[in-house]
Amino acid sequence: MSNQPVLELKNVTMQFGGVKALNQVNLQVNKGEICALIGPNGAGKTTVFNVVTGVYVPTDGEILFNGKSLKGKNRHKITKMGIARTFQNVRLFGEMTSLENVITATDVHNKSGLVGSILNTPRSRREEKAGREKAHEILKFMGIDHRSDQLAKNLPYGDQRRLEIARALGTSPEIVLLDEPAAGFNPSEKKSLAELIVKIRDRGYTVLLIEHDMSLIMGISDRVAVLDFGEKIADDLPSVVQNNPKVIEAYLGVPADAS
Partner 1 sequence: MPFNLRDTGATLWANSNKWQRYLIAGVIIVGAFALPLLEGTFLNTPRTPFVSVLFYPIGVYVLMALGLNVVVGKSGLLDLGYVAFYAVGAYTAGILSMHTKLNTWEILPVGIALAMLSGFVLGAAVLRLRGDYLAIVTLGFGEIIRITALNSSAVGGANGISNIPNPPTTFGFTFDLESDRNYYWVVLILIIITILIIRGLSARRPGRAWESIRQDEDVAELMGVNTYKYKLWAFVFGASVGGAAGVLFASKAMFIAPNIFNYNISILILAFVVFGGMGNIWGVVFGAVLLSYIPERIRFISEARMLIFGLVLIIMMNLRPDGLLPRKKREKIGIAGGEIK
- Would you tell me which residues interact with partner 1 (CB under 8 A)? 46, 50, 53-55, 74-76, 79-80, 84-85, 87-89, 91, 93-96, 100, 103-105, 107-108, 110, 112-114, 117-118, 120, 124, 127-128, 151, 153, 167-168, 170-171, 179
Q: Is 30 exposed, middle or buried (0-12, 13-18, 19+ CB in 10 A)?
A: middle
Q: Given the DSSP bridges, would you call strands 83-85 and 206-210 parallel, antiparallel or unpaired?
A: unpaired
- The smaller minimum CB distance to partner 1, of residues 166 and 193, is found at 166
Dihedral, 234, 86, 83, 51 alpha carbons, nearest 10: -60
Nearer to partner 1, 177 or 247 (CB): 177
CB of 43 to partner 1, least distance (A): 14
Beta carbons of 18 and 227 less than 8 angstroms apart: no
The secondary structure of 4-25, three-state, reads: CEEEEEEEEEEEECCEEEEEEE
Q: How far is the CB of 120 from partner 1 (least distance, A)?
A: 6
Least Å distance, CB 240 to partner 1, is 30
Least distance (Å) between residue 58 CB and partner 1? 15
Shortest gap between Cβ of 256 and partner 1 (angstroms)? Answer: 34
The answer to whether residues 39 and 169 touch, using CB atoms and an 8 Å cutoff, is no
Q: Which is nearer to partner 1, 34 or 105 (CB)?
A: 105
Alpha helices of 64-186 — where are they, by DSSP H? 75-81, 98-106, 114-119, 122-141, 157-170
| Nearer of residues 144 and 234 to partner 1, judged by Cβ | 144
Residue 142: how many other CB atoms lie within 10 Å = 23
Cβ nearer to partner 1, comparing 90 with 198:
90
Which residue number, 119 or 237, has a Cβ lying nearer to partner 1? 119
Q: How far is the CB of 79 from partner 1 (least distance, A)?
A: 4
Q: What single letter denotes the amino acid at residue 49?
A: F
Nearest to 58 by CA among 73, 68, 79, 43: 73
